[in-house]
Structure 1
Amino acid sequence: MSENKKNTWFPAKENGWGWGKPHAWQGWLSQFIYLVAVALTSYLIDPKVELLNWAIVVTILTLCLIFLYVVKGDAPSWRWKRIKRKRIKLFK
């Protein structure tokens, strides 16, 4: 494990732009906390009744998660690797 990998919670995606699945327990915990916070927000603020308030709170939570990705993740850059697929031979 390289020194850079120890400090990052979210690696850059292998294909495309952005971040992939976390490779540190802190990254998994932060995503779990985000999901619980969004679920709790949806429970406490009914989006059918108070859509604007709900959207503001969820937007703030999402921006906090993106900030965490930027601070604790690899720098996102456009990456494109050829995807290798196994070919199935019907006849030998």
Structure 2
Amino acid sequence: MSPRDDGHWFPAKSFGYGWGLPQRWQGWVVLALYMGAVIGIALRFPPQRSMVAFLVCVGVATLLLIAVCAVKGAPPRWRGRH
């Protein structure tokens, strides 16, 4: 297994804090579901009519994405330029 293929769905970012684009198909499925959820939320609660409902729902979807990244992604840590 190469360092790039360590079993994590989401690699840690090269610079900064957090995760990068998925490196496994499962991560791509999670990202596609998240994007679909945001589109569905925008259709159900258009921001120009229901800003609070839109923001709450997108916030919940984003927290779920972060939770999946935390469980299935590489451990994040600050990576600065040297």
Identity %: 39
**Structure 2 residue aligned with 1:73:** 73
CA contact (8 A) 1:11 1:23 kept: yes
Aligned length: 81
TM-score norm. by structure 1 comes to 0.80
Q: How far apart, CA to CA, are the structure 2 residues paired with 1:55 and 1:12? A: 27
Report the AA paired with residue 79 of structure 1: R
Secondary structure of 2:31 counterpart:
helix
The list of structure 1 runs, each at least 4 consecutive aligned residues, that deviate by more than 2 angstroms after superposition, is none
Q: Normalising by structure 2, report the TM-score.
A: 0.89
1:29 aligns with 2:29: yes
Provide Cα deviations, 1:29-68, integer angstroms capped at 9, x if missing partner: 1001000110011011111111111111110000000001
RMSD: 1.7
Residue 80 of structure 1: how far off its partner (Å): 2.9
Which of 1 and 2 has greater Rg?
1
What 5-or-longer segments of structure 2 have no aligned partner? none
